[in-house]
Amino acid sequence: MGRRILVQRKGRGTTQWRSPQHLKIAPARHPKWAPEKTYVGQVVDLLHESGRGAPLAKIRYEGESKLHYIMAPEGVQVGQIIECGENAALANGNTLMLEYIPEGTPIYNIEGSPGDGGKYVRSSGLAASIVSIDKTKAMVRLPSGRQKIFSPRCRATIGIVSGGGRPEKPFLKAGAVFHHVRGKARKWPVVRGAAMNACSHPHGGGSHQSPGRPTTVSRHAPPGRKVGNIAARRTGRKK
């Protein structure tokens, strides 16, 4: 009997596969939805969170007992005043609704729907920009070049997410990759199934490295067989 393959081991849900929540500081979100209120706060500290490429800015808003955290924009510093709301100024690090932000302004942490706290453009070094806006919709160009429509009432932070040069630094050795991946609850290194023995993976074995059979499997295949292209409608290059 062969060993249990990777997808079977992951399905057990042991601590090896769970997200290391004890290393996390807090969710990076906009303050609670209050359209008529403008939050005014101060950056208390800049922190690093395990598994997150961008540094976090700890903010204490006036009249709020709870501390808030956002992805720090480029150029932010401890002691800087941060505003969030309808009457916030057009300054780096401030959060406004899209309808109050001029076209072409770099923005990040854009809400998918008003009040959700921010879901788009959150990685280090990224920024989006508003292409056009009217009373019903706001067209935003994402860092990928794709244009997406948002509600004008969605909030976004002005600026560019800090930590932009992070991907340009090489890892240089495998140990650095190990510690990088460890904070993201992912298994590393990942070995190809074709490079394994036949007892370890459905693609393993043979006199040379090849799956040896079609790699498309049924959606209802058992966990030990469900590898490769699962319930694929089509495979291969389009002609």
- Across residues 66-81, what is the average pLDDT? 94
Amino acid letter, 64: E
**What are the structural domains, with CATH classification, of the chain?**
21-167 (2.30.30.30)
CB 49 within 8 A of CB 56: yes
Which DSSP letter does residue 174 get?
H
Tell me the mean pLDDT in the region 195-214: 92
For the segment 7-17, the average pLDDT, to the nearest whole number, is 82
15-29, 34-48, 76-90: least confident range: 15-29
> How far is Cα 234 from Cα 126, in angstroms, rounded to an integer?
34
pLDDT at residue 3 is higher than 80: no
Residue 151 burial class via C-beta count within 10 angstroms: exposed 0-12, middle 13-18, buried 19 and up: middle
pLDDT average, residue stretch 60-78: 93
Residue 187 confidence class, pLDDT cut points 50, 70, 90: confident
pLDDT for 220 equals: 96
Structure confidence by residue, pLDDT tens digits, 28-64: 999 988 878 899 999 999 999 988 999 999 999 998 8
Predicted pLDDT of residue 1? 53
Number of helices (H), then strands (E), in the chain: 2, 12
- Number of residues assigned to the chain: 239
What average pLDDT does the chain have? 91
With bands split at pLDDT 50, 70 and 90, how would you rate the model's confidence at 107? very high
Through-space distance between the first and last CA atoms of the chain, rounded to whole angstroms: 42
| Residue scoring higher pLDDT (141 or 200) | 141
Which run of H or of E encompasses 39?
strand 39-47
Q: Is 150 within 8 Å of 110 (Cβ atoms)?
A: yes
Amino acid sitting at position 53: G
CA distance 106 to 31: 20
- Whose tokens are 């992805």? That residue is 71
Residue 150, pLDDT > 60, answer yes
- 238 pLDDT band, cuts 50/70/90, is confident
- Asked if pLDDT for residue 12 goes beyond 90, the answer is no
Mean pLDDT of 182-195: 87
List C-alpha distances in Å: 207 to 6, 194, 195. Answer: 23, 11, 11
Give the contacts of 208 (CB within 8 A, at least 6 positions apart).
none
